[in-house]
Amino acid sequence: MKKAIVIVIWVVGLSFISCSDENKADGYGNFEATEIIISSEAQGKIKYFNVREGDEIEPGIKVALIDTIQLHWEKQQLLASQKTVSSRSQGVFTQIDVLNEKLKIAEREKKRVKDLLAENAATQRQMDQTEGEVKVIREEIKNVRTKNTPIINETELIQAQIARINDLIEKSIVENPLKGTVLATYAETGEITGYGRPLYKIADLENMTLRVYISETQLSDIKLGQEVHVKIDSKKDNMKSYPGRISWISSTAEFTPKTIQTREERSNLVYAVDVKVKNDGSLKIGMPAEMWLQTAE
């Protein structure tokens, strides 16, 4: 009788151990999110900064403006210089137009003398004289156009400077690059900012990433795009489950992180796996979670 009791206890114990193994998650890790630090691309006083921690911002929204007064006056000076240079260039083109008219008259005269020479009504000297006048006018046109070359170069330089000012003015308007939640702010209205100074940090909290680590023996059970279950601790239901999808599997192994437990604790090398999870508002950056390849019975 005692032997039968021992066997029953041993079987129950094995069943308990087996159930314990089956109820263990396939991966453990923490939630991450794509965080971006938005920095200033201009230098000057912040005229307004409409960002607060916890705000949900859409992409393309203008969130800050850096003072552009000095850039505006510098642009006005360049525009005035451009007008001056353009007037000089216009004077050159006017001279060329006058010379072109003189050239037309000289060429008509040359043709007339040539016709007369063919009829022996003009001399070779007259023909040479008209050809000389045409050559002289053409050389004058060439010389005037040469004078316009430095003016054209100066105009292009001013245009490049104006383009640079326009780019700086555009960068003085800070637009939010992605839809997300503001995690931290580093500036306030009225402060002086500079190139590359951080303004705020934003993250996409709607689509979270669970980074888990699995052993080599589990690699054959997963693949990219595979649907999995992600569970977090919940006060009401003990464990709250979310649908997830494997988006990345590391191609190289690494040593087990100290804060991560795997199914086989004796394994020294593990592979990192990213699982994409849609956030309902409960998931937070750094929150621990479990990955299950199958829902526990």
Residues β-bridged to residue 263: none
* Residue 49, domain extent: 37-66+179-203
DSSP structure class, residue 224: T
Check: CB of residue 102 under 8 Å from CB of residue 192: no
Task: Based on the fold, state whether residues 286 and 225 are members of the same structural domain.
Answer: yes
Task: Based on the fold, state whether residues 199 and 268 are members of the same structural domain.
Answer: no
Q: With CA atoms as reference, report the closest residue to 130 among 149, 100, 161, 107.
A: 107
* Model confidence at 58: pLDDT above 90: yes
Check: CB of residue 133 under 8 Å from CB of residue 113: no
How confident is the model over 3-18, as pLDDT tens digits? 433 333 333 343 433 3
- Summarize the confidence of residues 126-146 as an average pLDDT: 84
Check: CB of residue 186 under 8 Å from CB of residue 130: no
How confident is the model over 72-114, as pLDDT tens digits? 999 999 999 988 888 777 777 787 888 888 888 888 888 888 8
Number of domains in the chain: 3
- Summarize the confidence of residues 28-35 as an average pLDDT: 91
Q: Which amino acid is at 57?
A: I
Task: Based on the fold, state whether residues 116 and 240 are members of the same structural domain.
Answer: no
Sequence length of the chain is 297
Task: Please check whether residue 6 lies inside any domain of the structure.
Answer: no
- Summarize the confidence of residues 146-172 as an average pLDDT: 89
Task: Please check whether residue 19 lies inside any domain of the structure.
Answer: no
pLDDT band at 260 (very low <50, low <70, confident <90, very high): low
Q: Name the E strands within 10-116.
A: 27-32, 35-39, 44-49, 56-57, 62-66
* Model confidence at 285: pLDDT above 50: yes
CA pair distance 262, 288, nearest whole angstrom: 13
How confident is the model over 204-256, as pLDDT tens digits? 999 999 999 888 888 888 899 999 999 998 777 678 899 999 999 988 887 76
pLDDT band at 25 (very low <50, low <70, confident <90, very high): confident
pLDDT band at 259 (very low <50, low <70, confident <90, very high): low
Q: Using alpha carbons only, give the angle 81, 82, 83 rounded to the nearest 5 degrees.
A: 90
CATH number at residue 276: 2.40.30.170
Residue 150: the pLDDT is 82
Task: Please check whether residue 116 lies inside any domain of the structure.
Answer: yes
CA pair distance 115, 175, nearest whole angstrom: 74
Task: Please check whether residue 111 lies inside any domain of the structure.
Answer: yes
Helices 124-171 and 69-118, axial angle in degrees (round to 10) = 160
pLDDT band at 182 (very low <50, low <70, confident <90, very high): very high
Task: Based on the fold, state whether residues 208 and 278 are members of the same structural domain.
Answer: yes
